[in-house]
């Protein structure tokens, strides 16, 4: 072969080296800054500062012992791997409010947010005192401790069951235990806290959508008129609280109709674990969920605010009676988010 070919090969190799040198630094950095709209596939999201099961055990114990009797902690049963399914009860009011977090084990910040809400409710703050008089709040900071420890969405049992799709078949011990707790505590209202895996944009805009509101895990035709109205009232009060503090651009969660989700069956009833009878008339008049964007630890505080601020707004509105007067006329005008995967365009 001639030297010309050699030169050609060398030129090719040089070009490749130049390309590599050009591309590598770009590829090593996320296309967006951490805290920007997209979680990168290889982004290192540290869990070191996120509450694990042992932290929940310790913190619930601490809160109970410093609450002067305002908080009691108990276990609803045990998980597939034998962890306690811990919940706290705060308040002595006639209406029960159910607040659950981390039914999906890898949705990290909902646990810390639930603990923050519990600490507030246990405090001497006048709003907290009023909530304790009006409500009995059941706080479940880690519904799925096995999934949380493994940092996966589902159970860790071989079936890898999504615990939020298990209130029809009840194959998981967690589902049976929390269904029984629901039956025993008869919550009038329920709130379930989740994370989105990606943060999309608000439809028709370039605005990052950091908070989605789930007024309906099932089609409204499966609810009573009262339940659908209550869900929209809780939704609008939540959205207004987010707006007031300028925390996020709010959008609807996509339209779904998932009858085996926990909240869905709280509203519909009609199912029960083996050997149990369904609750004849559901005590639950409203049940909604939050979906908060999910990114690295740099914005932990912001992520936790996105759960805590609207949740406390709803709790205050129930306690002071203003939820019943909540205007829902703006519900239909809440935007949806883009279905496009973040950063795909």
Footprint of Zn ion on this chain (CB under 5 A)?
104, 107, 194
**Chain residue at closest Cβ approach to Zn ion:** 194
Closest CB 143 distance from Zn ion, rounded Å: 10
Q: What is d(CA 110, CA 103) in angstroms, rounded to the nearest whole number? A: 9
Q: Of 194 and 232, which has the nearer Cβ to Zn ion?
A: 194
Query: Which is nearer to Zn ion, 134 or 251 (by Cβ)?
Result: 251
Query: Cα–Cα distance between 52 and 236 in angstroms, integer?
Result: 32
- Detail the DSSP E strand segments found in 225-302: 250-252, 286-292
In whole angstroms, the minimum distance from the beta carbon of 77 to Zn ion comes to 21
Compare residues 144 and 284 and give the one whose CB is closer to Zn ion. Answer: 144
**CB 338: neighbour CB atoms within 10 A?**
18
Sign of the CA dihedral running 23, 26, 27, 32: negative
Name the β-bridge partners of 195.
Answer: 292
Which H or E run includes 17?
helix 3-28
Q: How far apart are CA 307 and CA 251, in angstroms?
A: 15
Closest distance of CB 59 from Zn ion, Å: 22
Of 188 and 291, the one with the shorter C-beta distance to Zn ion is: 291
Is residue 37 within 8 A of residue 208, CB to CB? The reply is yes
Between residues 149 and 240, which has the closer beta carbon with respect to Zn ion? 149
Nearer to Zn ion, 191 or 317 (CB): 191
Minimum CB distance to Zn ion, residue 235 (Å)? 17
Helix boundaries (H) for 125-224: 126-134, 145-150, 173-185
Taking residue 170's Cβ as centre, other Cβ atoms within 10 Å add up to 19
Please state the φ and ψ torsions of residue 291, each to the nearest 5 degrees.
Answer: -130, 115
The nearest distance, CB 104 to Zn ion, in angstroms, is 4
* Residue 329 CB, nearest approach to Zn ion (Å): 29
């Amino acid at each position: 072969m001639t030297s010309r070919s050699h030169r050609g090969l060398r030129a090719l190799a040089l070009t490749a080296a130049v390309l590599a040198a050009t591309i590598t630094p770009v590829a090593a950095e996320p296309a967006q800054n951490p805290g920007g709209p997209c979680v990168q596939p290889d982004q290192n999201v540290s869990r070191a500062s996120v509450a694990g099961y042992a932290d929940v055990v310790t913190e619930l114990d601490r809160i109970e012992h410093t609450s002067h009797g305002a908080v009691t902690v108990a276990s609803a049963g045990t998980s597939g791997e034998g962890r306690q399914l811990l919940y706290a009860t705060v308040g002595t009011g006639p209406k029960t409010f159910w607040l659950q977090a981390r039914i999906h084990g890898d949705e990290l910040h909902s646990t810390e947010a639930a603990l923050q809400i519990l600490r507030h409710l246990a405090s001497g703050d006048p709003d907290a005192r009023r909530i304790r008089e009006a409500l009995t709040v059941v706080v479940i900071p880690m519904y799925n401790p096995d999934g949380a420890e493994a940092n996966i969405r589902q159970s860790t049992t071989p079936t890898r069951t999504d615990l939020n799709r298990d209130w029809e078949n009840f194959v998981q011990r967690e589902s049976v235990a929390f269904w029984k707790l629901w039956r025993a505590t008869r919550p009038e209202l329920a709130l379930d806290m989740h994370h989105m895996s990606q943060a999309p944009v608000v439809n028709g805009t370039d605005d990052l959508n950091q908070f989605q509101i789930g007024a309906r895990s099932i089609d409204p035709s499966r609810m009573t008129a009262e339940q659908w109205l209550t869900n929209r009232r809780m939704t609008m009060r939540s959205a207004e609280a987010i707006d007031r503090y300028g925390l996020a651009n709010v959008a609807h969660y996509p339209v779904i109709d998932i009858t085996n989700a926990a909240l869905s069956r709280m509203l519909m009833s009609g199912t029960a674990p083996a050997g149990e009878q369904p609750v004849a008339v559901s005590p639950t008049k409203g049940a909604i969920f939050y979906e908060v964007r999910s990114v690295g630890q740099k914005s932990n505080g912001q992520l936790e605010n996105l759960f805590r601020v609207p949740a406390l707004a709803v709790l205050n509105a129930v306690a002071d009676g203003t939820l019943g007067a909540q205007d829902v006329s703006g519900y239909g005008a809440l935007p949806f988010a883009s279905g496009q995967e973040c950063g795909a365009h």
